[in-house]
Amino acid sequence: MNLKELYQEIILEHGKNPRNLRKTENFNKDAKGNNPLCGDIVHVYLKLNEQKKVEDISFEGSGCAISMASASIMTDLIKGKSDNEAKEIIEDFLGMIKENPELKSNILKEDDKTKLMCLSGVKQYPMRVKCATLSWHTLISAMENDGKEVSTES
Amino acid sequence: MNIDTIKKEFPIFDNKIQNNDLVYLDSANSSQKPKVVIDKISEFYTKQFSNVGRSVHYLAVAATNLYENTRSSVQKYINAKDKNEIVFTKGATEALNLVANTLGQKYLEEGDEILLTELEHHSNYVPWHYLRKSKNIKINFAEINEDGEVPIENIEKKITLKTKVIAINHLSNVTGAILPIKEITELAHSKGIIVVVDGCQGGPHLKLDMQDLDCDFYAISCHKMYGPTGLGILYGKKKWLEELPPYQGGGGMIKEVKKDRITYGDLPNKYEAGTMATAQVIAFDQSIKFLESIGIENIIKHEKELIQYGQEILRKNNSVKLIGNPKNKGGVLSFTIQGVHPHDIATILDEDGIAIRAGHHCCQILHDKLKISASARASIGVYNIKSDFDQLNESINKCKKIFDLR
């Protein structure tokens, strides 16, 4: 096990300077997520246009380097995608964190995949997987717009 | 028993944790177990096991005697007046739920007020919160000062004519502040207010003398006192335990059961429904003996030196911010590092075999007040030594390096 794999340069950089850490104006979908065990919270905002394309995505919240970097990279990659593409990326990412050795989707460019794969280091740290996946589960909830708060413990 | 060599009584330290020697700084969460306690559990199941208090056969009598023997040891250890003031529960959480629930059933009325402090663990808040809903009880919070302690004046300030219960922790699991329970109880009793103490952190670190503290209830967590998990103790003054209704119904707590009426057993059976954590109770006697063999005065002295040493070391480390600076402090050192989230600290420390806790430590009210979402906490037990804090400090420096802090 190796801390360098977990705290790669790109994670530390996104963790320190998260992209899209703000609230989208005129968002039309949103959801909150929390991890009651550690107190991490995230609020994801989405603006889907009439063609169901993600015009803007942002998040507010606080958490560890892993959770902030994950939300930051997620919002960067989802912006500009259609809702179906977004769903495919989410599924692909969660599948990779859970069991798949690599990402399968063809939607993402190679360097985007490299960015996401930087988060694969959490696989060796079971207690930290939730840090990496909270914002993604919250994004699913926002897209489904069921208004349900996402919790890592239910 | 010599406190400097006590570590060898704990088998866990014989093992490598991910190729490192274990530096265990998470005792406020749960303490490690000495060999005598582990062996007793095994011995009981191997040679003496039976359910207690029911059958008349040889093993049942032997097990019952062992079980009741622990009750007597606890009574002596905490200097309770009567053996029947000791009730075994599944944890301190259940002990506090028992008190809140039964006081709610019989003693509290709509509009009454409960006074807590901002330091309380969720276990000493959530059970009272239920009474907000069911009985329209109001809950007030005595504030902490800038050192993370609750001076008695801050408690006095929040007492009103409707205050019926003051429920407070003995030692804060985040700031380490030791509350002046005896003085608070004196003040409370002069106004006819009941005092309930969450003694989870008091148990392992402080002298427990119920007759001196004079509080009405005191909840103990056995697994934080070098004992088994699944066991807590509620101390309650006899007059309250006799007056209040039972908490849970079941076998062992009744006197007579008829189709149209039920009468309940005498203390302490009234509050011990169903088969109890028998092996844990019996093994806890060894925890008490272990604590007695070192002597609480020696433990207090050893831990005070350790905490002072830890404080000195961490204060010298820039970018580490200690949480709270109580004059009377024990057991824990909580801190944050500007620019590194507590969870990242905990993961990096873990890589060096150092176990700490990160999060809000079940004290969200306190963390909200401090305007932080989480903190890192190093907490000690009898087995810790000064070099544990040297290693902690070294690993903190590693965190800073990874996160590029100067």
CATH classification at residue B141:
3.40.640.10
Q: Is B202 left (phi over 0), alpha (psi -120 to 50) or beta?
A: alpha
Among candidate residues B243, B277, B292, the one where a domain is terminated = B292
We report the CATH number of the domain holding residue B21 as 3.90.1150.10
Q: Which of residues 22-61 of A touch B (CB under 8 A)?
A: 37-41
Residue B205 and residue B309 in one domain? no
Q: What is the mean pLDDT of chain B?
A: 96
Within 13 Å of residue B272, how many CA atoms lie on the same side as its CB? 26
B201-248 tens-digit pLDDT: 999 999 999 999 999 999 999 999 999 999 999 999 999 999 999 999
Of B341, B351, B404, the CB nearest to A64: B341
Whether the model clears a pTM of 0.90, i.e. scores above it, the answer is yes
Nearest to B220 by CA among B301, B287, B166: B287
Distance linking the first and last C-alpha atoms of chain A: 29
Q: Which residues on A lie below 8 Å from B401 (Cβ)? A: none
Of B292, B309, B336, the domain-final residue: B292
Chain A residue numbers touching B338 (CB-CB < 8 A)? none
Q: Which has the minimum average pLDDT: A117-126, A130-139, B8-17?
A: A117-126
> Which three-class secondary structure state does DSSP give residue B44?
helix
Please write the tens of the pLDDT for every residue from A128-137.
Answer: 899 999 999 9
d(CA B316, CA B311): 9
**Nearest CA of chain B to the CA of A83: how many Å?**
32
Q: What is the pLDDT of residue A3?
A: 84
Grade residue A67 by pLDDT with cuts at 50, 70 and 90.
Answer: very high
B359 in the same domain as B249: no
What is the token pair recorded at B161?
């004519």
Contacts of A66 in chain B (CB under 8 A): 343-344
State yes or no: pLDDT of A1 exceeds 70.
Answer: no
> Rounded to a whole number, what is the distance in Å from the CA of B370 to chain A's nearest CA?
14
- Whether residue B373 and residue A41 make contact (CB cut-off 8 A), yes or no, is yes
Of B341, B364, B374, the CB nearest to A65: B341
Tell me the average pLDDT across A65-71.
95
The residue in chain A having the minimum alpha-carbon distance to the alpha carbon of residue B343 is A64
B residues 1-20 closer than 8 Å to A (CB): 18
What pLDDT, on a 0 to 100 scale, did the predictor assign at position A2?
76
Residues B155 and B170 in one domain: yes
Partners of B141 in beta bridges: B116
**Chain centre to alpha carbon of residue B178:** 13
What is the structure's pLDDT at B385?
96
The answer to whether A31 touches A147, Cβ cutoff 8 Å, is: yes
Peptide bond into B151 cis (omega under 30): no
Q: Are residues B135 and B247 in the same domain?
A: yes
Token representation of residue B232: 């807590």
Rounded average pLDDT over B132-141: 96
Ordered domains of chain A (ranges, CATH):
3-141 (3.90.1010.10)
pLDDT of residue A151 exceeding 80, the answer is no
- Name B171's bridge partners: B178
Contact B278, B40 (CB under 8 A): no
Residues B277 and B306 in one domain: no
Mean pLDDT over each residue of chain A, to the nearest integer: 91
H/E element holding A53?
none
Q: Alpha helix (H) ranges present in A42-150?
A: 65-78, 83-98, 110-117, 129-144
Contact with chain B for residue A12, Cβ under 8 A: yes
Reduced DSSP (H G I as helix, E B as strand, rest coil) percent helix, strand, coil of chain B, to 5: 45, 20, 35
Same domain, B203 and B344: no
- Choose among B26, B329, B5: nearest CA to B148: B329
Asked if A7 lies within 8 A of B344 by C-beta distance, the reply is yes
| pLDDT tens per residue across span B49-97 | 999 988 899 999 999 999 999 999 999 999 999 999 999 999 999 999 9
Q: Which of B267, B292, B317 is the last residue of a domain?
A: B292
Both B185 and B328 in one domain: the answer is no
B406 pLDDT more than 70 = no
Residues 6+ apart with CB under 8 A from B185: B195, B213, B214, B215
Instruction: Please tell me whether residues B346 and B380 are part of one structural domain.
Output: yes
User: What pLDDT is stored for residue B37 in this prediction?
Assistant: 98
Report residue A51 as tokens: 């063609």
- Residue A146's pLDDT is what? 62
The DSSP call for residue B70 is: H
Residue B387's domain comprises 3-29+295-402
- Report the pLDDT value the prediction gives residue B53, as an integer from 0 to 100: 85
- Confidence label for A147 from pLDDT (cuts 50, 70 and 90): low
Contact B403 A63 (CB under 8 A): no
pLDDT reading at B390 higher than 80: yes
Sign of CA dihedral A132, A136, A138, A141: negative
Residue of B337, B350, B354, B373 to mutate for A, most A C-beta atoms under 10 A: B373
CA distance A53 to A30: 15
B342 touches chain A (CB under 8 A): yes
Does B147 lie in the same domain as B206? yes
d(CA A3, CA B348): 7
Chain B contact probe: residue of A1, A2, A3 with most B CBs at under 10 A: A3
**Beta-carbon separation of A64 and B342 below 8 A:** yes
Task: Indicate whether B109 and B140 sit together in one domain.
Answer: yes
Residue B10 · residue B248 · CB < 8 Å:
no
Same domain (yes/no): B206, B183: yes
Please state the domain count of chain B: 2
**How far off is chain B from A65, nearest CA to CA, in Å?**
7
> What percent of chain B clears pLDDT 90, i.e. is strictly above it?
95
For residues B140 and B234, membership in a common domain is answered with yes
What positions of B carry a catalytic annotation? 362
